[in-house]
Structures are given as structure tokens and as C-alpha cells.
Amino acid sequence: MSDGLPPLREVVRAHGLDARKSLGQNFLFDLNLTGRIARASGSLPGVTVIEVGPGPGGLTRALLAEGAAKVIAVERDPRCLPALAEIAAAYPGRLDVVEADALQVDLAALAGNGPARIVANLPYNVGTALLVQWLSGSEWPPFWDSLTLMFQREVAERIVAGPSRRADYGRLGVLCGWRTTARILFDVPPAAFTPPPKVTSSVVRLEPRPSPLPCRITSLEAVTQAAFGQRRKMLRQSLKGLGVDPMRILSDAGLPATARAEEIPVEGFVALANAFDAARET
């Protein structure tokens, strides 16, 4: 990649960007790898990308070099801003840097009217919280048309899990499976990062389902929380805390009372959420 910018190791040294664990900072310096992640989000020319946590800018540079029309990069660590300003100068008008906590900022407003893609090597400490936020909006389809995200492999497995991967299947798998199609694209070994994390990471891509099965998200959360909160128990037992008759909502949802949470597919939980709503209303 010939963007005329210095190698990332040099950038980090010049700006004193020693990685901070508290900010989930594990940087990628290999521009071949960041290029691969950028391309995994699909063809980029003409596209607006929101990147969370650009850090010294390895993935940012790849997204721009691959042709993204605009990258809006949200970074919490002010120490990274001078390095990102150098990238913005190399790609005039194509990089906006926003100093903010991505959990607090309104990304939909930043994205403007057109469709946006979210691409990020997420900080591990807030990655799941950000994903849940992006999947829980009241507007659906959402403001983003795909998410291409790096997670710890173990979290990636929970994102794509269904009843056929029981050990990994839980509330996150139900939420992701309800509103999106999700798949793991490839793994990234610890040695690719500076400093190296303890575990393997994976790049995951999620695309919104245009019409998820109708149900109220708060009710889906309530039933999955009760069911997976006691995942070894049968549903007739684990759903007792919901304040409605578990046998009634299981029967209305067409589910066996002796089943356990990890055996129930997403459609079953949606039916259960709707039965829960109906039982509360009568």
C-alpha cells in the first residue's frame, strides 16, 4: 500500500502510543492484514464506513486505500488524534475523526442519511456491549448495512451459535440470530497484534435481516435472560421468575415444558416472547 505514510511502528513510536490495557488497545501493524479485514467488509468505493477505535490508524489506512469514500473514526484516546490527523491530511476530505466514547455517541447521526458500514478491530472490554447496542435499536433495518468486526474467538463463537453449538449458544446468539445473519470469516492469531492478547481473535460479519420475526425486543431479552440464566434447568422451572405461568406460555409457544434453553432455536424464543406478552396482557 503506497499511501506515503510512515510504517505504523514508527507512527506509534513518534506519538508515544504505548498500548493501554484499560482501553483494550491491541494494535495491528501489518497492512496486509488490515487490508484483508477492510476487504472482508465488501467492495468499498462509494461507501461510508464508521470505524470504532482507529488507534494509530492501521485499519483506517486500509479502509481508505481500498477506496472508502468516507471513514468516520470514533476514538476515545486523545493520544491517537495527531497520528489520525496525518492520515486525514494524506486523504483530504475522506477521514473524519470524532473523539468520543463509542458507547455514548449517536453513530446513526454521525453516519448521516446514506447507508453506512461499521468496520472495527474492537476494544475487547466494550466489544460485546457495542454489538448489543447496534442490534438493539428500535429502528429496523438499522442505520448500518453490515458489521465487520474483530472479537475474541470465544465471543465470535457465541455470536454465531445456535442449538447445534450448545455450549456457545446463549442470549447473544439469540439476539444475533433473530436480527442478523452472522458468520465467522477468519481467525487472527495473537502474534498479529501489539501487544499480543492471550487468545485467538476472529473477524465476524453480520448483516441485518430485512424482516426479523416480529416480537418486542424487551420481551425477547426477558425470556432469554430467564431461560439461559438457569440453562441446565428445564424451561418449566427456569421461566418461573417471569411472573406468568410458565406452563401456559410454553404451551402457547408450542414448546415442550421439559426442554432446556440451549435446545430452543431463535424462532422458539420469539414465540415465547410473544406468548409472554400475551400472558401479561390478560
Q: Least Å distance between CB 22 and ligand SAM?
A: 9
Could you tell me how many residues of this chain bind ligand SAM (CB under 6 A)? 23
DSSP 218-280: HHHHHHHHHHHHTTTSBHHHHGGGGSS-HHHHHHHTT--TT-BGGG--HHHHHHHHHHHHHHH
Among 74, 95, 131, 272, binds ligand SAM (CB under 6 A): 74
**Closest Cα to residue 124, out of 175, 71, 200?**
200
| Cβ proximity to ligand SAM, 201 vs 219, nearer residue | 201
* DSSP string computed for 44-106: -BT-EEEEE--TTSHHHHHHHHTTBSEEEEEES-GGGHHHHHHHHHHSTTTEEEEES-TTTS-
Least distance (Å) between residue 58 CB and ligand SAM: 4
Q: Does 267 bind ligand SAM (CB under 6 A)?
A: no
State yes or no: residue 127 binds ligand SAM (CB under 6 A): no
Q: Which residue's CB is nearer to ligand SAM, number 152 or number 224?
A: 152
- Report how far residue 106's alpha carbon sits from residue 102's, in angstroms, rounded to the nearest whole number: 8
Among 72, 83, 126, 203, binds ligand SAM (CB under 6 A): 126
59 in contact with ligand SAM (CB under 6 A): yes
Shortest separation between residue 27's beta carbon and ligand SAM, angstroms? 4
Q: Is 48 in the site for ligand SAM (CB under 6 A)?
A: no
Shortest approach of ligand SAM to residue 172 CB, angstroms?
19
Q: Which triple of cell numbers denotes residue 6?
A: 510512515
Look up residue 136 and give its DSSP letter. S
- Sorted by sequence, the CB contacts under 8 Å of residue 123 that are 6+ apart come out as 23, 24, 25, 52, 53
For ligand SAM, the binding residue among 66, 75, 157, 168 (CB under 6 A) is 75
- Binding-residue pattern over the window 5 to 44 for ligand SAM, x denoting contact by CB under 6 A: ------------------xxxxxx----------------
Among 123, 142, 246, 268, binds ligand SAM (CB under 6 A): 123
> 164 in helix, strand or coil?
helix
The nearer residue to ligand SAM, 11 or 235, going by C-beta atoms, is: 11
CA proximity to 73, closest of 38, 113, 42, 29: 38
- Is 53 an interacting residue with respect to ligand SAM (CB under 6 A)? yes
Least spacing, CB of residue 25 vs ligand SAM, in Å: 5
Separation in Å, CA 137 to CA 107, 116, 149, 220, 240:
12, 15, 18, 14, 28
Nearer to ligand SAM among residue 53 and residue 173 (C-beta):
53
Strands 180-188 and 201-208: antiparallel
Ranked by CB distance to ligand SAM, the top (closest) residue is: 53
DSSP at 124: T
Binding positions for ligand SAM, rule: CB under 6 A:
23-28, 52-55, 58-59, 74-77, 80, 101-103, 121, 123, 126
